[in-house]
Copies of this chain bind each other. A is one copy, B any other.
Amino acid sequence: MTTHNILDKMASDAKLSKKETAKQQKIVEAAIAIFAEKGYSNTSTSEIARKSGVAEGTIFRHYGTKENLLLSVIVPFLKQSMPTLAQELSHEVNPQNNLHFEDFIRAFIRNRYNFLRENRDIFRVVIKELLYRDELRKDLFPYILKEMVAFFDIAIDHYKARGELGDLPNQKLFRMFLSVIGSHLVTRFFLSSDDLGKEEEEEQIEDLVRFLTNGVS
């Protein structure tokens, strides 16, 4: 099987194909928690070993290097991230369903909210490490953007045809959506520690939706 994208390539480099043992799960679990809290550089392998109840040697038997353990955390998260998005939002970009652009934006934000709520710690690890690793970012960003653009293009064209979006270039619209929603998600799940109430969260989502639908009309 050939590797078609950078994530597959990284996954195979990191030999992630084999299924995990119970101890491996413990190791990854502990690594995510400690990396998320203190960052990769400030986390020692001995600490991960202690927290996961495993000998330090076991970590290196399975992952070879500390770096490789990090990739074993990040890569599956990113691989999972894209498909669920496209799949769960197929309803909103289907011409059969008479939905408004507003509904698409709302569904998109809700989807990312739920995804990040369930993967909060890994999200923190990824954000931190993407900032520190220029190489990783340079490889990953264009790939992720391409996937996103491909998906958004369909939606944008769809809603343009319905006359619900101005005739700004898709790229500009895309960039605005992403920066507004992205910065909101980062501040929501990364910077602010306290949990929001359900209704406060709904209100913030509606503010975003209103802002985005006005900002480009």
Q: Which chain A residues in 152-176 approach chain B with CB under 8 Å? A: 172, 176
Asked whether any CB of chain B lies closer than 8 Å to the CB of A6, the reply is: no
Interface pick from A26-34, A80-88, A110-118, A180-188:
A180-188
Interface pick from A45-53, A57-65, A127-135:
A127-135
Q: Mark A135-150, 1 if CB is under 8 A from B, else 0.
A: 0010001000000000
Beyond the given pairs A41-B42, A214-B215, 13 more chain A to chain B contacts, judged by CB atoms under 8 angstroms and listed by A's residue number, are A39-B41, A39-B132, A131-B131, A141-B191, A172-B207, A176-B180, A176-B211, A179-B180, A179-B184, A182-B183, A211-B215, A214-B217, A215-B216
Residues of B within 8 A of A134 (CB): 193
Closest to A175 in B: B207
- Which residues of A approach B to under 8 Å, CB–CB? 38-39, 41-42, 127-128, 131-132, 134, 137, 141, 172, 176, 179-180, 182-184, 186-187, 190-191, 193, 207, 211-212, 214-217
Contact B172 A179 (CB under 8 A): no
When A and B form their complex, which 6 residue pairs have the shortest distance between CB atoms, in order from nearest?
Answer: A215-B215, A183-B183, A41-B41, A179-B183, A211-B215, A39-B132
Q: List 14 A-B contacts (CB under 8 A).
A: A127-B131, A128-B132, A131-B131, A172-B207, A176-B207, A176-B211, A180-B180, A183-B183, A211-B215, A211-B216, A212-B215, A214-B214, A214-B217, A215-B216
How many copies the complex holds: the figure is: 2
CB distance from A77 to the nearest CB of B (A): 18
Give Cα distance in the complex from A134 to B190, angstroms.
10
CB distance from A217 to the nearest CB of B (A): 7
Residues of B within 8 A of A182 (CB): 183
Residues of B within 8 A of A212 (CB): 215
Give Cα distance in the complex from A179 to B131, angstroms.
18
Closest to A178 in B: B183
Pick from B39, B141, B183, B216: contact of A180, CB under 8 Å: B183
